Amino acid sequence: MKTAEIANRYLDFFRSKDHEIVPSASLVSDDPSIMFTIAGMVPFIPYLTGVVPAPYKAAADLQKCIRTNDIEEVGKTARHGTFFQMMGNWSFGDYFKEGAISYAWELLTSSEADGGLGFDEKDLWVTVYEDDDEAEQLWRSVAGLPANRIQRLGREDNYWTTGQPGPAGPCSEIYFDRGPKYGQDGGPAVDDNRFLEIWNLVFMQYAIDNVRGKTEFDIVGELPQKNIDTGMGLERVAFLKQGVENMYETDQVRPVLDRAVELSGRTYGKNHEDDVRFRVIADHVRSSLMLLSDGVTPSNEGRGYILRRLMRRTVRSMRLLGVEEATFPELFAASRDAMKAGYPELETDWQRLSSYAFAEEETFLRTLTAGSTILDTAVEKTKTAGSDKLAGDQAFLLHDTYGFPIDLTLEIAEEAGLGVDRDGFDSLMKAQRERAKEDARSRKRQIADLSVYREFRGAGETSFLGYDALQTETRVLGLIVDGVPADRATAGQVAEVILPETTLYAESGGQVADKGAIVGNGFELDVLDVQRPVPGLISHTVTVHSGEVAVGDAATTIVDGENRRRAQAAHSATHLVHAALRDTLGSGATQAGSLNRAGYMRFDFAWGQALSAETKTEIEEIANNAISDNLEVSTRIMSLDDAKAAGAMALFGEKYGETVRMVDIGGPWSRELCGGTHVGRSSEIGLISLTGESSVGASNRRVEALVGIDAFRELTTERRLVNELTSALKTPKDKLAERIAELSANLKRAEKQIAQFEAKELQQRVPSLAASATTVGRVQLVAESLGEIGSADDVRALVTQVRERLASEPAVVALVGVAGGRPIVAVGTTERAREAGVQAGALVKIATGVLGGGGGGKPDFAQGGGQDASKVDAALEAVRTAIEAA
């Protein structure tokens, strides 16, 4: 049975049981405390916790998930995958334990001919929470399960909580017996490899408090509304129904594995290490493709870093299989074809997805080449120093700075006959992880408990009236001070204000929040920010400027009209620039993000190379022509399907409901899904002036522009600058660039001549410096201050030349110069001086220690720098003393 068919059977079954079929949420989580949708229940948390009233009594879905906390286990077990799909059915105060158990048993055991999954009853076991007598009785009466196939487990295994005070409840898990080939008998309590969990039923019926740990909490009562939360892993069911050994061999994953086998020329199933690599490739390619399809792009932080890591692990695994050239065009295409039946957008959006993937692979292959060169140099230095082990900090530098995998460092070092200080590397990695964890904990501590909004959201959605008005009369529905509800807020306090309606725009879609005020009888509130903390609710963060505001007070929202007009002009300008980009570059230049505020816009788009000056001018001209054409700006509310059919552009990774707002500028020329505020006609934008274009990651570019009066002011400033230059250089405007180029060339020639004169002057100092050598201990020492110098190169050159003059002697040359106010030290030794036991590196460390700096090098030459130029003489004296004592 194909994976897509299993999913369809599941959804069809629950559709027939009057469940609302809910489309999958994005892999990019709305929850600020997590990066990805890591479980099927994540999109339903607001409904399960009661923060947002559920729009349906019962629902079912197939949810895309990404989980990377056990990425190192991928490929090693039958069930670890970074991307997976969870089938779930949900009840919000409708059916409870009996209904959930009945539905699960019917779907699992009904014959395939009748639309079921066709599992044999004798192969199914269940676990229940140790105190849940009701669940055990239902399994016996509803499913007819014998007592010996029902096992009771404790809180660790069979109790669900969020980890915080709030809803919780016992679980019942359904297991499939894979047979004696996979382990010992005795049920899931004995062997969870042979007995594989396929479905988890959570009975959310209790409220808990005083949470001290995963299993340490107090059950304080029953919930007023009991919910059902279930999850069945699609990949697990698929590999059982398809009779294969693991999820990597199912129809949605195996084609990538097979293509990797073909490209490598190796055989799957012959060698354990190779098999793990093949499975890693199959998993990571699919996960990367699905992340790309939800708008994530490779980068060095956040979600983008996770995606980049998955891609680079894939490249590394192919390299370990003997393939060093690019393989993503083959592997990603295989994954697309395997997944497109369930996710047709993978084919329709292939151009964008593939451009990111292919560019990332090319970048990393170049990184591997550069890293290999750096590593080769480090290996050579390690051997020269007489060590048999590459330093841990060097391996960490390659990993952390250059993205060079540690296992590749180990492999290359081993080929060169060296080990790697793995303890040192691991210590640095551990310290980095601890910093990252602390940073994550710090961010999480700053996130308010969203349950504080439950009561306010329960009163209904906040109505946004700002499309048609800049102020409205309303009342204070709620106040939050220091993260908890309050009945009033007084002058000087910062508070969140909840209103049933508002004209103040909440930040979203790239447009920043409105500025403005909320006023009432006896109080005035300055609006600092406007956000949507939970779906459907708008919260205003304010400072109480004067007076006292209380819950229930009448209030008026007032938008800063000038700021709004300039912000919406910038937002409309963004739409024009997007359309101009697509006109100029083609449909591949798709939006990847934007920011709009009063007078300024920036727009990120998919593109693999810098724009030429001519292209930027063309884009700017097209956008400004649209302004001068005074195009009509219109908005329509329609279904998402109708908007897509009309050709509306949607932002990848953005979450849209079934009903959307479509913004047209000039009809279909610019047509996008957008909830922001806009001008009435394009001429109200005034002017767009592109101020910059840059790279923001592999295959991503960014354009920035000033809009309206800000653009005009920038152009007048440039005009004034040009006029000043023409006047100062006595050159007409059309000859200005030529004149500046001429002056620049003259300056370079003058700088070169000055450098030659300085070099000649330095050369003339060599004889006198060599003649200043005096006997110190067993060597001839030249220890002099050079005073002000041009650069460190001057010190190095003099040390080298003076040492050559004294090459036949046991001589040391130690010179100190001051460049830019900072002392620079260089020390050179002749061969006979080194035979006498004098090392340049040791002497430099002594000198720079006196100067408040550091340095080092080889026995024959070393250099360094310091902070305190007043101690140059003391540093030279310290060198002299060290040589005397040698």
Residues 6+ apart with CB under 8 A from 133: none
Separation CA 366–CA 364 (nearest Å):
5
Separation CA 677–CA 655 (nearest Å):
18
Does 399 appear as a known binding residue? no
3-class secondary structure, 736? helix
3-class secondary structure, 538? strand
Does 540 appear as a known binding residue? no
Residues 6+ apart with CB under 8 A from 748: none
Does 578 appear as a known binding residue? no
Tell me the one-letter amino acid at 834: R
C-alpha dist (Å) from residue 327 to 259, 278, 284, 321, 411 = 10, 13, 13, 12, 22
Burial class (CB in 10 A: 0-12, 13-18, 19+), 723: exposed
C-alpha dist (Å) from residue 363 to 288, 373, 699 = 16, 16, 10
How long a stretch of residues is the chain? 886
Residues 6+ apart with CB under 8 A from 579: 622, 623, 626, 665, 669, 670
> Which stretch of DSSP H or E encloses residue 240?
helix 234-241
Q: How far apart are the first and last CA of the chain?
A: 82
3-class secondary structure, 306? helix
Q: For the beta carbon of residue 601, count every other beta carbon within 10 angstroms.
A: 27
Q: What is the DSSP letter of 498?
A: E
Q: From 694, 510, 670, 690, select the one nearest 607 (Cα to Cα).
A: 694
Separation CA 44–CA 204 (nearest Å):
13
CA 443 from centre of chain: 15
Please list the residues that pair with 596 across neighbouring strands.
Answer: 511, 601
Does 171 appear as a known binding residue? no
HSE-CB of 301 using CA atoms within 13 angstroms: 4
> What is the DSSP pairing of strand 494-498 with strand 537-550?
antiparallel
HSE-CB of 144 using CA atoms within 13 angstroms: 4
**∠ Cα 236 240 242 (to 5°):** 115
**CB of 147 closer than 8 Å to CB of 195:** no
Q: What is the DSSP letter of 71?
A: G
**CB of 847 closer than 8 Å to CB of 875:** yes
Place of tokens 């020639």: 749
Separation CA 743–CA 213 (nearest Å):
72
**∠ Cα 612 618 619 (to 5°):** 90
State both tokens at 880.
């002299």
State both tokens at 444.
């999480």
- Beta strand extents in 142-261 (DSSP E only): 150-153, 159-161, 166-177, 195-209, 218-233
Phi-psi region of 146 (alpha: psi -120 to 50; beta: other; left: phi over 0): beta
State both tokens at 94.
């409708």
Please list the residues that pair with 427 across neighbouring strands.
Answer: none
Tell me the one-letter amino acid at 331: L
C-alpha dihedral (361, 364, 366, 369), degrees to nearest 10: -130
Separation CA 25–CA 10 (nearest Å):
18
Q: Where is the binding site, in residues?
A: 571, 575, 674, 678
Q: Where is the binding site for Zn(2+), in residues?
A: 571, 575, 674, 678
